[in-house]
Chain A
Amino acid sequence: MTTEAVGTTAAIETVGLTKMFGAVRGIEQLDVRVEPGEIFGFLGPNGAGKTTTIRTLLDLYRPTAGTSRVLGLETHTDSVTIHRRVGYLPGDLALFDRLTARDHINWFARARGRDDTRMAEELSERFSLPLDTRAKDLSTGNRQKVGIVLAFMHEPELLILDEPTSGLDPLVKHEFEQLLRETTTAGRTVFLSSHELDEVQRVADRVGIIKEGRLVFTDTVAGLRQRAPQTIEVVFKVPVDPHRFQIDGVRVVSSQGSHVVLEITGAIAPALRIIADLDPVELVSRHAELDELFLDFYRNNTVTTTSDAD
């Protein structure tokens, strides 16, 4: 019996989800919540646990501890119902070498109990996928296109995509991002695992950063931008003493006579008051690039769990 929930059911919800491979850590105490209709970017370096999370959500891996629900359903007991309603693109996509793209589409449609392959044909045309070439003769990009078509062809409520754009050229990537936007506009949800920061910040509503099997950060992309420290470069009329900027939330990145670079986290007003008193002639301010922020999370050895609630 399925246990479908009603109301504001999360598209994905895990609580304390843990997967160990013997003594080797896969994911640990992972708490993730993905809301319906959003694109959730799941970021992390290689080996962080992104693929392990996805495989556990799809009941391909059996968790060591914790619970996970997809579309309100328990991932193990209701796996067949979940699989019917989810589209999955694996990170290391493997196809049946002797089958053509068309064979794959027809077989997957039949296995899903659907005869209608209209959507698959539309997507194939949109991505210029050669339908009658055997998988073993397809280029890496075209194989990935087959995977995209197979994941989207039954118009699932939730798409779980593991590194979906690997091997795609920039034009196809652009088309794929457009497809993602159309998908969420139609009210469907996308869980997008990637290590391509640019891609995620372009398409995702929210991002989660996983590191060493633990979720270290979740927030909206806009929230992330706000959190990013501001860098202010100031040129003063005369050389200034950098010690004047030793206040909370301000770090002197460099100081060369009258040219000072500051990094400001939090309120900017106290620093601006000091700057104004020192007779500035030129001031340039910019937020740190998200790349820098992500890399900071990746490099930082301390796990500091934060969320969009704070």
Chain B
Amino acid sequence: MRTDVSRLDLVGRRRAVLSYTLGMGLYALAIVALYPTFEHTTGLNKFTKDAPTVAALFGATGSLISPSGWLNVNLYANLFPLLVLLATIGYGAACLAGQDEEGTLAMVVALPIRRHRVAVEKVVTMCIQASLIVAVVTAVIALGHFFDIAVSALDLCGASLGVLLLGIDFGLVAMAVGAATGSRGNAIGVASAIAAASYLVSSLAPVVAWIRPARFASLFYWSVGNEQLTVGLSVSELAVLVVTGVALAGVTIAAFERLDLH
């Protein structure tokens, strides 16, 4: 199978992706390495007990000093998915709309390559980049075994898979909006706004009763907001994330077929 478009983007972004991955890996290592320092600091749990709504805004619910609670509040409930989203939404907005605004995309599409293949290769490229980031961070977190962090490997991988699919889904939102409008700004704006709303709904759902029913509309709930680090990623959660991604990829390809390219 020809992968010229994918390779072009991967080569062009390799330094940025590697630096980003390294940075995230180091951050995860710091979080993991700090756990022994805080694992007996029971006072931390007062935060979620005394101000549960404020704590929930930061993705903190339940115990903060249990291994899964520590990873959840410092990585899985907020920074890990948000940083993966930054990468995927950034690429999703840049790879079609952004490159069209720069003028390079028309050069590619004017080659004997079908448009839908260009779009599919862009989706694959985003998946590769997100997978690299998530795989490295997950591998670093797995080192937590040496720092008293005892989390089931299966649950850890399930939660990381949730983060990966969440990132891909929001990257696809950006890609679809970019393909429909040809505007990188619109793509980033719409995808970020939906992601922010989705995060808020999922974070506040455990502590705000009237928001609770809306959690099913939040991709954060299906990926990291339902104790996936403790119980793993369920088949239904996996299905929601995958089906959403496939649907968004379909929308992206259909919109890109109609986009006027400059």
Listed in ascending order, the chain A residues whose CB lies under 8 Å from chain B are 21, 55, 58, 60-62, 79-81, 83-84, 86, 88, 90, 92-96, 98-99, 107-108, 110-113, 150
Interchain CA distance A94-B258 in the complex, whole Å: 22
Q: Does A94 lie within 8 Å of B104, measured CB to CB? A: yes
Interface residue total, chain B, C-beta cutoff 8 A: 21
Q: How many contacts between A and B, using CB within 8 angstroms? A: 62
B90-115 CB mask vs A (1 if < 8 Å, else 0) is 00000000000011101111111110
Given contacts A60-B260, A62-B258, contact A88 B8 (CB under 8 A): no
Note all chain B residues with C-beta closer than 8 A to A113. 112
Q: Does B107 lie within 8 Å of A90, measured CB to CB? A: yes
CB distance from A84 to the nearest CB of B (A): 4
B111-131 CB mask vs A (1 if < 8 Å, else 0) is 111100000000000000000
With A80-B112, A90-B107, A90-B110 given, can you name 12 additional A-B contacts, CB distance below 8 Å?
A: A21-B260, A55-B262, A61-B260, A84-B112, A90-B106, A92-B262, A99-B12, A107-B8, A111-B4, A111-B108, A111-B112, A112-B111
Q: Does B103 lie within 8 Å of A81, measured CB to CB? A: no
Note all chain A residues with C-beta closer than 8 A to B107. 88, 90, 94-95, 150
**Interface residue B261 (Cβ < 8 Å from any Cβ of A):** yes
Listed in ascending order, the chain B residues whose CB lies under 8 Å from chain A are 2, 4-5, 8, 12, 102-104, 106-114, 258, 260-262
Q: Does B113 lie within 8 Å of A60, measured CB to CB? A: no
Q: Does B111 lie within 8 Å of A111, measured CB to CB? A: yes
25 A–B pairs (Cβ distance < 8 Å), ordered by A: A21-B260, A55-B262, A60-B260, A60-B262, A61-B260, A62-B258, A79-B114, A81-B112, A83-B110, A83-B113, A84-B112, A86-B110, A88-B107, A92-B262, A94-B104, A95-B104, A96-B12, A96-B104, A107-B8, A108-B111, A110-B4, A111-B108, A111-B111, A112-B111, A113-B112
